[in-house]
Every structure is written in structure tokens, then in C-alpha cells.
A and B are shown apart, each in its own frame.
Chain A
């Protein structure tokens, strides 16, 4: 039986969208994320994010800690910011309730090989813009339980 997910499917422009951030994905001064966190894995056009307004910061952190890499903090965007740069964000509850995907309209088709230069140019414009717009919240206690940083 599929568990209930009683949150609306449409994502409002004012919803906070959270991406878990791993070690090596933050600038040297630890104040901003590197744009590459908004690049998709190969063969897909989907960047995994969480609908914070319905799941909360603790859930976002737990999800980040469960990913098998060195979790260090959370990056937050508004849905409207994602859409303004020409990308989309949509509910993907088949992964879990509260999960969403950012899509850029560009797929890295071949593993271990580069995008075409034109696709890279288009994708860079989007992910650089998202990287600049995202608010980065370093986790004061990345290995501990629950979010203890400022409210997102």
C-alpha cells in the first residue's frame, strides 16, 4: 500500500526548496554553495530537493546525513527563484513524500563525457544563477541529530 502524502502537488512560488550540501561543494569562505550542486547526475534531468515548508529543517538535515557523503549544511531557494532562471521545480513524491526535482531541460547523456559546449553554456547560466541566489546555511553540528542552526 502506498503511504499517504497529503501535501499539494503544485509547488507554490513562495515555497522554500532545500538541497542538502556535501563537503567540497562550498566556497573557500564557507558562505556560498558551488553552482555544480545544481547539476544533475548523468542520464537524468533531475536535481533532488525537499519541500521545506511541509517537511521542516530536521527532515532536510536527516535526509542529507543519510546520503552516504559528508553532509555539511543546507542550501535554500524559493521555487519562484528556480523558475525565474528558466528551470522548473516539481513534486516527485514517488521518491518520498515532500521530495521534488529541479529540472533544467538539459541531460548529460553519456556518463564520463562532457556536455556539448552549447549545452554547457546554457546549463552554466542556470546553475550559476541558482548558486548565486541560494542561501547557504552551514550546519553548526553536521553529525548531530536535528537542525540546530538558524531558521531556514
Chain B
């Protein structure tokens, strides 16, 4: 059996649209994600996915349905571990996820069949990935989270201990 490290079999959440309400369901593997960001991400992708060309007035290509679907699948994986990116269309008919913090920048560009990705931390060399869109994995979001959104360093807590004999 071939080991495929970035197999995109994970579908951590689903949109369940009933007559009564829209329900967002999240798999346990994604339990730490910020649930409320999924609807915002879906709306941002919907708004960015211009079905007609020339949306910028300068000959931009439309965003293909496959590209939109690829972006939805990618954000499913990424939002499990990283915050909501800024989502924008590009004149070349692709969609971009971008993160900018004081720690650096990251950019994932998603096309009809391929993606490209970099994280450029403030200190150190950029990390570059590209490949088939089906290979987008939580790893990419993990790199964004760990390099651009590091947890605040906790100051060591000092608790003075006084023994009964000192009192």
C-alpha cells in the first residue's frame, strides 16, 4: 500500500441545510477549530468566486466552479488548525488565502488543479510548497498557526512556599 501523507480524505465539517435551519457539523478531529469561522469562510469564498470574467474591469478571468470547490475543501482542512485567512480572487482566475501578522506572512493560491503555498516568517527562510490541490492538508494550516500565530509565551509562575517552620 502506498503511503500518501497528504491524502485529502478528511472532511472535517459539513453544511447540513434543513428547512428549519442551517447547521454546521464538525468532526471530532476538528474540535479545536473556531467553529464560528466556517460560515464566514464559506461566505468569503462565495463572494470571491466571480462566475463571470472582467470582474476587475481589466480582463480578469472568472473563478471556475472547480476552483471554488477546491477552495472549500482546502479551507475545511486549514481552519481546523489556523485562523480564518483573508480570501481574495486573482485576475488569473485563482483564489488566494492570505495571513499577515507581526510574525510574517503566508499565502495559499488555489487553482483548478494545483495549489501553491508559502509561509514567510519574519525570521528565517520561507517555506514553499506546491502540488495537486488534493494534497492540501492540515499541515499547511499547522505551519501557518505555528509560525505566524505562536501561542503567547507564558511567564513562569513563581509561587513562594513557606513552610510551617518559617512562620
Q: Are B91 and A40 in contact (CB under 8 A)?
A: yes
With A71-B57, A112-B112 known as contacts, the answer to whether A121 contacts B93 (CB < 8 A) is no
Interface centre among A37, A112, A118 (most CB of B within 10 A): A112
B92 contacts A42, CB within 8 Å? yes
**Contact digits for A62-94, partner B, Cβ 8 Å, 1 yes 0 no:** 001001110100000000000000000000000
CB-defined contacts of B89 to chain A, threshold 8 Å: 36
Interface range, B side: 35 or more
Contact between chains at B128 and A111 (CB < 8 Å): no
Interface on chain A toward B: helix, strand, loop, or mixed SS? loop
- Give the bracket for the number of chain A residues in contact with chain B: 20 to 34
Count of A-B residue pairs with CB < 8 Å = 97
- Segment from A8-16, A18-26, A50-58, A138-146 that makes contact with B: A18-26
Q: Which residues of B contact A111 (CB under 8 A)?
A: 61, 92-93
B130 contacts partner chain A, Cβ-Cβ < 8 Å: yes
Known: A112-B92, A114-B109. Is A41-B128 also a contact (CB below 8 A)? no
Q: B54–A68 contact, CB under 8 A?
A: yes
Return the contact of B88 from the options A36, A67, A68, A114 (Cβ within 8 A).
A36
CB pair A120 B54 closer than 8 Å = no
A117 touches B91 (CB 8 A): no
Contacts of A64 in B (CB 8 A): 57
> Closest residue to B115 on the A side, CB-wise?
A114
CB within 8 Å of A: which B90-135 residues = 90-94, 96, 105, 107, 109-118, 120, 126, 128-130
Q: Is the CB of B56 within 8 A of A37?
A: yes
Name the contact of B57 in the complex, choosing from A67, A110, A124 (C-beta under 8 A): A67
Q: How far is the CB of B79 from chain A (nearest CB, A)?
A: 20
- Give the shortest distance, in Å, between A127 (CB) and chain B (any CB): 10
Task: Judge if A151 is at the interface, Cβ distance under 8 Å.
Answer: no
User: Contacts of B111 on A, CB cut-off 8 Å?
Assistant: 110, 112-114
Decide if B59 is an interface residue (CB 8 Å cutoff): yes
The answer on a CB contact under 8 Å between A115 and B55 is no
Contacts of B143 in A (CB 8 A): none
Instruction: Tell me which residues across on chain A come within 8 A of B64, comparing CB atoms.
Output: 112
B76 at interface, CB cutoff 8 A: no
The answer to whether residues A36 and B57 also contact, given A120-B109, A120-B116, A121-B118 and a CB cut-off of 8 A, is: no
CB distance from B102 to the nearest CB of A (A): 15
B residues 37-90 near A (Cβ < 8 Å) are 47, 54-61, 64, 67, 88-90
